[in-house]
């Protein structure tokens, strides 16, 4: 988030067609819950376009990149690398240490799709489980970011939005962002 060291999310692996929705949701969740950017595999252009469209309409700052070298990004990251996996240490046991590390340096959160190769487990500073049960990269990422930011991401200000949702008890109101 603004005025804090960067938080980036990298999505490992993408099967076009089958994973389109999930990869898009990884990016939308990263954006909505306080990350600064997402790096998607280079065959995920469709997901990138959807995330960019949402950012144009509902605001940023948030950026989306395609990359063919996900593993190099993880290996060469200058900061803390957190790999989310059901096999990892319990998030509730390591969240304070990770938050303290992120106070001083950028953080890269890594999520998989299919089987994640073991060298990613070795390259990570933390392998973190959001429960040690199998579920989804979207759910794991959401809980992790909320723990990292301690809920501050929910009050984040959006910049350059064309439209905004009016929170209300019942109804679905969307207004141009420059209208009160």
140 binds ligand SAM (CB under 6 A): yes
92 binds ligand SAM (CB under 6 A): no
Residue placing its CB nearer to ligand SAM in the complex, 59 or 80:
80
85 binds ligand SAM (CB under 6 A): yes
> Residue 145, by phi and psi: left (phi above 0), alpha (psi -120 to 50) or beta?
alpha
Residues ≥6 apart with Cβ < 8 Å to 21: none
Strands (E), 27-172: 37-41, 63-67, 80-90, 107-111, 126-129, 163-166
> Which of 39-47, 65-73, 129-137, 158-166 is the region at the interface with ligand SAM (rule: CB under 6 A)?
129-137
Query: Contact letters (x/-) for ligand SAM, 39-78, by CB under 6 A?
Result: ----------------------------------------
Distance (Å) of CA 95 to CA 34, 67, 89, 129:
16, 28, 10, 11
Q: At 117, list the tokens.
A: 């190769």
Residue placing its CB nearer to ligand SAM in the complex, 133 or 173:
133
Contact footprint for ligand SAM (CB under 6 A): 84-86, 111-113, 115-116, 129-131, 133-137, 140
């Amino acid at each position: 988030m603004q005025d804090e060291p960067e938080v980036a999310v990298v999505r490992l692996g993408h099967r076009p067609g089958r994973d389109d929705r999930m990869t898009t949701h990884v990016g939308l969740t990263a954006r909505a819950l306080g990350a600064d950017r997402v790096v998607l595999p280079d065959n995920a252009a469709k997901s990138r376009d959807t995330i960019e469209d949402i950012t144009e309409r509902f605001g940023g700052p948030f950026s989306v990149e395609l990359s063919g070298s996900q593993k190099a990004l993880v290996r060469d990251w200058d900061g803390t690398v957190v790999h989310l996996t059901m096999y990892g240490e319990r998030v509730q046991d390591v969240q304070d240490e990770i938050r303290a590390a992120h106070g001083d340096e950028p953080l890269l959160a890594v999520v998989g799709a299919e089987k994640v190769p073991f060298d990613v487990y070795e390259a990570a500073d933390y392998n973190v489980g959001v429960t040690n049960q199998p579920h989804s990269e979207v759910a794991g990422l959401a809980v992790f970011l909320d723990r990292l930011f301690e809920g501050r991401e929910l009050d984040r200000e959006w910049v350059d939005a064309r439209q905004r949702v009016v929170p209300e008890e019942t109804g679905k109101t969307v207004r141009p962002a420059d209208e009160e």
